Each structure stands twice: as structure tokens, then as C-alpha cells.
Chain A
């Protein structure tokens, strides 16, 4: 049973381009969480999704950021028109239920905007 898979591990984008970050949850997990970690800082919640539903997007910036978790395929975090301040590590976690169950993290995608 493979763990949470994120790709790419490293992504370089020029200002104004789009960044697409992918997260494949562990087999059997239908809950996905996205977090952002700025250098030297802790993880900040962005969005919580279940299959085909956004449950909580209170941590998502109002503009340029969107997330989806389709019925088939990985969860996608999409950042349009990237700016230098978007440079960070983006982590995805998955779990099978909502309460008292382990959330497993992927290795993250390190986005660098040049």
C-alpha cells in the first residue's frame, strides 16, 4: 500500500505562470487536506476535500488558488498567475475518516517562483 504520493517534488515557475500540484491519497482514503509551509514556519491549513466536494476552504487565498478532488484521479491544487510569495512547500495529507484517525502526509511539493 503506497503512501500519499505528491508530484512533482519540485516545481519551478516564472511569475504569472500556472502551477498544478497533484496528490494521490493512500488507497482507501477519501479525505484530502492541503497545507502550505513557508520557509522556517509551521504548516498552515488551506483546504479540506472529500471526493467531488470541498468541505472547508477557509485557509485558501481568495484569488488565484483552487483545489479539486475528482471522483477519479488525484487531488489537484492549482495556483494561477503565481507570484514570488507563493514559493513554499505544499503538503497533502489523506485519511479514511474524519475523527480520531491518522492523517498521513506526502513528501510535499516545493514550489519556487522565479
Chain B
């Protein structure tokens, strides 16, 4: 069964600290993996998209890694800010019926405290 599991479910950190969010998936065949940020009450916004051949991709203070062999990805946030408080969603793109189907993880709720 195609699944995306994220951990931890929730996380509280102090402003300025770093953190790492995990994503494990069993989706096959794999097309790409995306990390989205969803602020409360708003739609998800893409942070990174990684294909099979990419190991690391950065977007400002966000760095995503991908190990396609172990089917694991992580999102590292450096020098956290209060505005980083949001849900972070790992999404794996899966070719099904000739088109890209997105399989969503349940997300990690991050709270950054001053």
C-alpha cells in the first residue's frame, strides 16, 4: 500500500534552534518528493521538490534530503523563526494510471516559541 509516514507528529522548539523532520514512504513507483508548509487556515505552499536523483536541496533556511534507497526524506530547518510555526507536509508523487498522483503524509506540527 502506498503510504507516507511523518515523524514526529508535533514538535516544540525555541526560536533560533534547529530541527529536523522525518518522512518515510512506501510509494512505488516514485516520481518525486515534495515538502509543503501549511500555515493554520491556509493552503499548503511548496518548499522543495526532489526527484529520484537528488540527495539534497535547499531553500533558504530549509534543507531537504532524500535517500531513495531507504525511502526516507528529512527536512532540516536552521535558525528557526516564529513564522516557521506551521504544519510541514511530506508529499510523494506516484505514477498511477498514467498521471502523477500525490500521496500526502499527515504532517508534523511545528511550534516555535520565543
Chain A residues within 8 Å of B, Cβ to Cβ: 4, 33, 35, 41-45, 48, 55-56, 91, 93, 98-100, 102-108
Contact = CB atoms under 8 A, between A and B. Distances in A.
Interface of B: 31-32, 36, 41-46, 49, 51, 89, 93, 95-107
B101 A45 contact: yes
Contact of A108 (B31, B42, B51, B104): B42
14 contacts: A33-B102, A42-B105, A42-B107, A43-B89, A45-B102, A48-B101, A56-B99, A93-B43, A98-B100, A100-B100, A102-B49, A103-B46, A105-B36, A105-B43
B105 A100 contact: no
B104 A45 contact: yes
Contacts of A100: 31-32, 49, 51, 93, 100
A93 B104 CA distance: 13
A42 to B, nearest CB: 4
A91 B44 contact: yes
B63 to A, nearest CB: 19
A33 B98 CA distance: 15
Contact of A56 (B95, B101, B107): B101
Contacts of B41: 108
B100 A42 contact: no
Contacts of B32: 100
Contacts of B99: 48, 55-56, 98-99
A105 B44 contact: yes
A56 B102 contact: no
A44 B51 CA distance: 22
B42 A99 contact: no
A78 B46 CA distance: 27
A2 B5 CA distance: 33
Contacts of A102: 46, 49
Contacts of A45: 101-104
